[in-house]
């Protein structure tokens, strides 16, 4: 069996788990092997680990630094490409209850250091291989007749420093307002072993509940990103999630945690709060295009 065939069967396995459990955790060592076969170079894997050093600010959260970018997955041309800048909004209708719910947020834009990194590009290809064709519970006001996907990529650094407490998900129990969420861990400094655990909750869990106040009977799964490229995939409208606090091991120094979140959904339909922010036009100043692939024999959904 060639390396590529071996990796294809690993992805098929991950996809089957995702279809069965509506959730999958991929260890970073396995994902590193997979994305190297999908085009990630050793040099770019190294650069990806420190790309978050270039983050500057966040429009609403003092303990976070964030950049975002929109990417379109087009199964017709089998390409992913950078889409033009649009503001970002998550509302209570998305199961997102926070002080800035429904607020139009303008993030710094993801630059070429991240979008032209071959490891990042291979992560797009990997995500598409896992989720394309998977049947999910439909969200209201998304266009499921469209074959297009819109993926908002967030590069986030959460920081705990003295009185500033880093909450990877200040909103408590929530969903991301999309169809398929993928989170990929890039690294951390001075973080305790019990920090930033991700909990998956049944849809009956109450939005906004803090992670430590949730109902144990409604807990579906628990995972922790510890190693470079540890990755969670979640069918976003079939469970809710929360993330525990980022604690500093040495309290005299800052703690940081770096993550990529790939939030992927169908384009919105008329009447959706993001209808004005859902362009499929390419980004003129920061163009990027990468070829997608399909598994030869994807399991049926
Ligand atoms: Fe989330």
- What does each of the 301 residues of the chain score in pLDDT, given as a tens digit? 788 889 999 999 999 999 999 999 999 999 999 999 999 999 999 999 999 999 999 999 999 999 999 999 999 999 999 999 999 888 888 888 989 999 999 999 999 999 999 999 999 999 999 999 999 999 999 999 999 999 999 999 999 998 999 999 999 999 999 999 999 999 999 999 999 999 999 999 999 999 999 999 999 999 999 999 999 999 999 999 999 999 999 999 999 999 999 999 999 999 999 999 999 999 999 999 999 998 874 444 4
Q: pTM to 2 decimals? A: 0.96
Could you tell me the distance, in angstroms and rounded to a whole number, from the CA of residue 169 to the centre of ligand 1? 7
Write down the pLDDT at residue 299: 44
Q: What is the pLDDT of residue 298?
A: 46
The first and second tokens of residue 161, run together, are 């420093």
The secondary structure element, H or E, covering residue 122 is helix 118-131
Q: How far apart are CA 225 and CA 17, in angstroms?
A: 18
Name the 3-class secondary structure at 94. Answer: helix
User: For residue 93, what pLDDT is reported?
Assistant: 87
How confident is the model at residue 300, as a pLDDT? 43
**Ligand 1 center to 174 CA (angstroms):** 6
In angstroms, what is the span from residue 184 Cα to ligand 1's centroid? 12
Counting Cβ atoms within 10 Å, is residue 20 exposed (0-12), middle (13-18) or buried (19+)?
exposed
Strands 149-160, 23-26: pairing is: unpaired
Taking the centre of ligand 1 as the mean of its atom positions, its distance from the CA of residue 3, in whole angstroms, is 34
Which domains occur in the chain, in start order? 3-290 (2.60.120.620)
Check residue 206 and give its pLDDT. Answer: 96
Q: Rounded CA gap, 101 and 158, in Å?
A: 19
Burial of 63 (0-12, 13-18, 19+ CB in 10 A): middle
| Distance from Cα 113 to the centre of ligand 1, integer Å | 24
Beta strands at 64-74 and 108-109: parallel, antiparallel or unpaired: parallel
Distance 175 CA to ligand 1 centre (A): 6
């Amino acid at each position: 069996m060639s390396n590529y065939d071996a990796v294809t069967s690993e992805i098929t396995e991950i996809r089957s788990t995702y279809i069965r459990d509506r959730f999958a955790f991929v260890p970073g060592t396995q994902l590193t092997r997979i994305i190297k076969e999908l085009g990630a170079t050793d040099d770019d894997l190294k650069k990806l680990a420190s790309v978050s050093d270039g983050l500057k600010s966040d429009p609403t959260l003092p303990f976070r630094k964030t950049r975002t970018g929109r990417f379109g997955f087009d199964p017709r041309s089998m390409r992913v490409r950078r889409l033009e800048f649009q503001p970002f909004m998550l509302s209570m209708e998305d199961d997102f209850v926070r002080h800035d719910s429904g607020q139009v947020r303008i993030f710094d834009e993801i630059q070429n250091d991240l979008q032209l990194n071959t490891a990042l590009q291979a992560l797009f290809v990997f995500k598409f291989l896992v989720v394309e064709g998977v049947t999910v519970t439909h969200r209201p006001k998304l266009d499921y007749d469209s074959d297009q996907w819109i993926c908002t990529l967030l590069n986030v650094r959460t920081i705990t420093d003295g009185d500033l407490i880093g909450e990877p998900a200040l909103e408590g129990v929530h969903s991301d307002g999309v169809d398929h969420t993928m989170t990929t861990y890039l690294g951390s400094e001075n973080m305790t072993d019990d920090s930033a655990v991700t909990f998956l909750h049944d849809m009956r869990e109450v939005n906004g509940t803090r992670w430590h106040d949730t109902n144990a009977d409604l807990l579906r799964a628990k995972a922790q990103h510890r190693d470079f490229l540890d990755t969670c995939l979640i069918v976003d409208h079939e469970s809710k999630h929360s993330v525990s606090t980022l604690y500093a091991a040495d309290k005299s120094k800052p703690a940081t945690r770096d993550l990529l979140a790939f939030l992927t959904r169908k384009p919105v339909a008329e009447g959706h709060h993001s209808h004005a922010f859902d362009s499929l036009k390419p980004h003129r100043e920061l163009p990027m295009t990468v070829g997608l692939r399909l598994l030869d024999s994807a399991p049926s959904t």
